[in-house]
Amino acid sequence: MGKYVFGVDVGGTTVKLGFFDTEGNVLNKWEIPTRTHENGSNILPDIADAIKKEIVSRNMSAEEVIGVGIGVPGPVDDNGVVHKAVNLGWDKFNLVEAMTPMLRGFKIRGGNDANVAALGEMWMGAGKGRKNIVAVTLGTGIGGGIIVDGRLLNGATGAGGEIGHIHVQDGEEDECGCGNHGCLEQYASATGVVRLARRELERSTDASVLRDSELSAKAVFDAVKEGDALAVRVAKTFGEYLGKGLAMIADVVNPEVFVIGGGVSKAGDILFDYIRPVYLENVFHASRNVEFALATLGNDAGIYGSAKLILD
């Protein structure tokens, strides 16, 4: 019986790999480049090679390894079908079927990277011990991962948890990366916070430390901590959008905890001061007792969660 699993997190630039025991201890982690040319056709063989090398270098037998979980930046359904991963050059194909011949005898599982990161946070991070979690990654965009009764919600076409594209604002002129207008991530991602700040700086003539600094989500929340009134208005607008968005999500999936990660989460607990009141005002009463927690695994959430895919 195997005692180890590999967790793989495929990004547009690098592939992160982790070697874990079944208790969730990471025994090794490393990266290899993502070779996206030739429609990304080298990516899976490169991963297989890296895993075989690791097994050989440890003088292990293949039987000691249960399997390899792979997180992908695109929708992946319950059958392991990747529906598209633009950043990797991948079109629709079955990841599990493609990988199996390269790693004979190993269990192979695939998942969307944001979903898998949620699973990682549930296994060894901020959601440890919980079974109903919504993980929200506030980065360049907004990623979401939803766990229901301990299992990932992938959805019909692997697009479960695409919460960054919930429509929250009519009449938005700027276009979201998805082609729609008024998506949640246009206001509450790192990029969204910068947009809100830029608008507020244009709209108002008030003095603000933000006028002299390079705009970033971090700069905004640093200014909030210093009591900058204009930055506080930006944070309130951010909280208005995200608090309402999370309330809608809770009305649908009724989680125990929201785990907030990504660049914006580096601002810390102060985020919750702006999210929670709006959330409570908008959510159905049965979901009022939800917790808000900061993600704890950082960029490693993906390798943890991919490894956990194998153990479910």
Interface residues toward a second copy, by CB under 8 A: 75, 78, 83, 131-132, 144, 146, 148-149, 151, 153-163, 165-167, 178-180, 244, 247-249, 251-256, 282-287, 289-290
C-beta of 47 vs 278, nearer to a second copy: 278
Among 184, 25, 11, CA closest to 113: 11
* Of 159, 189, 146, 158, residue with least CA distance to 305: 146
Location of structure tokens 């208790």: 23
CB of 157 vs a second copy, minimal distance in Å: 5
Least distance in angstroms from the C-beta of 303 to a second copy = 24
> C-beta of 70: minimal distance to a second copy in Å?
19
Helices 217-225 and 190-203 cross at an angle (nearest 10°) of: 60
How far is Cα 78 from Cα 98, in angstroms, rounded to an integer? 15
CB of 288 to a second copy, least distance (A): 10
Shortest reach from residue 136's CB to a second copy, in Å: 12
Using the minimum distance from each CB to a second copy, give the nearer residue, 60 or 159.
159
Task: Report the candidate in 189, 129, 195 with the shortest Cα–Cα distance to residue 165.
Answer: 189
Q: How far apart are CA 236 and CA 157, in angstroms?
A: 35
CB 109 within 8 A of CB 79: no
User: Alpha helix locations (H) across 15-174?
Assistant: 43-57, 95-99, 113-124
Nearer to a second copy, 103 or 250 (CB): 250
Nearer to a second copy, 74 or 261 (CB): 74
30 vs 284 by CB, closer to a second copy = 284
The minimum distance between CB 32 and a second copy, in angstroms, equals 29
The residue among 65 and 183 lying less far from a second copy, judged by its C-beta, is 183
How far apart CA 259 and CA 305 sit, in angstroms, is 14
Length of the chain: 312
Residue linked to tokens 């895993």:
51
| Of 17 and 76, CB closest to a second copy | 76
Print burial letters for 183-221: b (CB count within 10 Å at least 16), e (below 16): bbbbbbbbbbbbebbeebbeeeeeebebeeeebbbbbbb
Least distance (Å) between residue 112 CB and a second copy: 10
Q: Which is nearer to a second copy, 68 or 142 (CB)?
A: 142
CB of 257 to a second copy, least distance (A): 9
Q: Taking the CA atoms of 24, 28, 29 and 33 in sequence, report the sign of the dihedral they define.
A: negative
Report phi then psi at 265, rounded to 5.
-70, -15
